[in-house]
Amino acid sequence: MLDDFLRANLASWDEAVGLHVDSDLYDVAGFKAGGTSLSEIELGELGPLVGERTSLLHLQCHFGLDTLSWARQGAIVTGVDFSGEGIKTARALAAEVGLSRRATFVQSDVESLPDKLSGSFDVVFTSWGALIWLGDLERWAAVIDHFLKPGGTVYIAEFHPYAFLLADDATPDSLRIGYPYFQYGVPQRFDEDGDYADPDATTQHTVTFEWLHGFGEIIDPLLSRGLRLDFLHELPYTVPGLPFKFLEKDDRGMLRVKGHHEDFPLTFTLKMTKEDR
Amino acid sequence: MSHDAQTGGGPVDPIPPEARTANLELWNHWTKVHEKSAFYDVEGFKAGTTSLWPLELEELGLYVREGTTLLHLQCHFGLDTLSWARLGAEVVGLDLSDEAIALARRLADEVGLSGRAEFICADLYAADAHLGERRFDVVFVSWGAIEWLPDLERWAGIIARHLEPGGTFYMAEIHPFGYALDEVPGEHDVQVKYRLQPAPDTPEVEPIEGSYADRDADTTGLVAYGWQHSLAEVTGALIGAGLRIEHLHEFPTSPAPSWDWMVKDEDRWWWLPAPDGGLRKDLPLSYSVRATRPWTEGG
């Protein structure tokens, strides 16, 4: 069954790459002109740990914009994505901006990565809408642990579990709940035309399977592997890309819940360390 | 770290005086209500049953054995404290309510646990002045405790200072998401009503209608001052105090009903009902955290 979920999601993501490369949201032209695709959130929290020659593994890297942005900060990066289209585009971008020597891209789903990649890393990074594509976070945590050097850091910047559970028609006065916090490994099936980066697009591969995860489900597998939690942060805003009607942009371009700009968390970040002992 | 600054004559109590007065009056009143409530089942406890939840026994029980020293912060009238004592622990319970502490001491006498149970009447933020340099193998906090506290950094500092190196902190609490819910008017359903991000400077001030343990109790005129906390805030406070988080578990169950249409199971847990007549397992209503004080600083 999992393979069927993966196959449907892969078809959707392969198709999305072309749309995203041309989208305003991803702003590939801005990246090529020297801009970073990373937000102030991960730059502020992880940036100080990424210096010249830091080895960084980016899980679920899509077509590599963030991976390459870390490379521009000096890191030696490896980006991994299950989409062949994503990896092909990432390699082409790396070549075009002259970062091929410090950027490697590997086509693999997260679970299979230990079969396809060797080595270990100072930093494992994952961000923004990655975890909903994973059904089994125990396996994910094992992969992170496997690739972290002793003393290494895993950093996650993600949409908050609460960000996904409001009903589509939630309003500032009625924040009704439409989706689960706990999903117990059973995916939700969506069949939706369009794309989060281009809502007007017509897409062929419209069916996806997604898993929402609570904090315990995300953090506990990493804790039980002995990683030390350094921080868990919750922020009442997030990066653009969530297509929900109850969100609006603030004057800095971050998304917030309408009528609840300060009191409804939309982002969580966490940093954990694999202790050297 | 300057421990001295935290003890007597130290910084201003973070609880505003009007909040302290109101909450003390409420807890003194609730103590009398709760002593007679089916929810607390004091008679059952006297007859030998434990007031602890299977969850706490499973997650913390492993760390409590004969002679384990245990500090129970915000212990109410001590049923859980004494239940740990029955399992062999040498316990200290601390609570702001003089009525609750008096009842706890009476109960300890009555069930023959006075020799291993001590109760301190004190505000949480005054704990250092009463505990001095004492350290415990276990610090325990449970169910509806931290909502009465505006400042979790100071709370966590107290926990860390009174834990032995290698000692265990454990808390089982109402989930921030559960606290933020209210019923959809006219429906047996919930929506997000209250803030989910903490606001240490603006307590929720709510008139009290009954008690979580007895909905029909007369509580006319009583008011509660409470503070919303997030998981980031709780874990951040503990980490900031030097503790290491060992687990974070979340559950779709609550120890008490927030609305009279919630459903109680045979293990005493309360659930939100599902539209199909079953139980809703999709929303977090409680959580537990276990943390340790490392043997060495930063280790």
Tell the residue number behind the tokens 């209500």, with chain if given. Answer: B33
Question: Hey, are the CB atoms on B239 and A231 less than 8 Å from each other?
Answer: yes
Find chain A residues with C-beta within 8 A of B227's C-beta: none
| Percent share of chain B, pLDDT over 70 | 95
Indicate the length of chain A as a whole number: 277
- CATH 3.40.50.150, domain B3-292, yes or no: yes
- The predicted structure's pLDDT at residue B5: 40
- The predicted structure's pLDDT at residue B2: 39
pLDDT greater than 70 at residue A34: yes
The mean pLDDT of B20-49, rounded to a whole number, is 95
- Interface confidence (ipTM) of the complex: 0.95
Terminal alpha carbon distance of chain B? 17
Q: For A141-193, how does the pLDDT look when each residue is reduced to its tens digit (9 = 90+)?
A: 999 999 999 999 999 999 999 999 999 999 999 999 999 999 998 999 998 88
A vs B, Cβ pairs < 8 A, gives 89
Delimit the domains of chain B by residue range: 3-292
The helix/strand/coil state of A21 is helix
- The predicted structure's pLDDT at residue B3: 41
Smallest CA–CA distance, residue A46 to chain B, in Å, is: 17
Structural contact between residues A196 and B295, judged by C-beta atoms closer than 8 angstroms: no
B232 touches A: beta carbon within 8 Å: yes
Question: Hey, are the CB atoms on B283 and A214 less than 8 Å from each other?
Answer: no
B196 touches A: beta carbon within 8 Å: yes
- The predicted structure's pLDDT at residue B152: 97
- The predicted structure's pLDDT at residue A2: 54
Number of folded domains that form chain A: 1
The mean pLDDT of A253-262, rounded to a whole number, is 97
- The predicted structure's pLDDT at residue B216: 87
Q: For A182-229, how does the pLDDT look when each residue is reduced to its tens digit (9 = 90+)?
A: 999 899 999 888 788 877 888 888 899 999 999 999 999 999 999 999
Residues in B 123-182 with any Cβ partner in A closer than 8 A: 177
Q: For B195-245, how does the pLDDT look when each residue is reduced to its tens digit (9 = 90+)?
A: 999 998 899 998 888 888 888 888 888 999 999 999 999 999 999 999 999
A259 touches B: beta carbon within 8 Å: no
Q: What is the mean pLDDT of chain B?
A: 93
Question: Hey, are the CB atoms on A177 and B192 less than 8 Å from each other?
Answer: yes
How far is residue B222's CA from residue B225's CA, in Å, rounded to a whole number? Answer: 10
Which residues, 6+ apart, have CB-to-CB distance to A86 below 8 Å? A13, A14, A17, A61, A62, A63, A64, A107
Question: Hey, are the CB atoms on A215 and B192 less than 8 Å from each other?
Answer: no
- Partner residue opposite B248 with nearest CB, options A176, A219, A231: A219
The mean pLDDT of A234-261, rounded to a whole number, is 96
- The predicted structure's pLDDT at residue B297: 59
B297 touches A: beta carbon within 8 Å: no
- The predicted structure's pLDDT at residue A205: 87
pLDDT greater than 60 at residue B9: no
Q: For B59-107, how does the pLDDT look when each residue is reduced to its tens digit (9 = 90+)?
A: 999 999 999 999 999 999 999 999 999 999 999 999 999 999 999 999 9
Distances from the Cα of B85 to the Cα of A147, B72, B118, angstroms: 45, 11, 10
Q: For B121-134, how does the pLDDT look when each residue is reduced to its tens digit (9 = 90+)?
A: 999 999 999 999 99
Find chain A residues with C-beta within 8 A of B248's C-beta: 215-216, 219-220, 223
- pTM for the predicted model, two decimal places: 0.95
Find the CATH number of the domain harbouring A120: 3.40.50.150
- The predicted structure's pLDDT at residue A200: 81
How is B28-76 classified by DSSP, letter by letter?
Answer: HHHHHHHHT-TTT-HHHHHTT---S-HHHHHHTGGG--TT-EEEEES-T
The mean pLDDT of B34-39, rounded to a whole number, is 93
Find chain B residues with C-beta within 8 A of A177's C-beta: 190-192, 283
Identity at B24, one-letter amino acid code: L
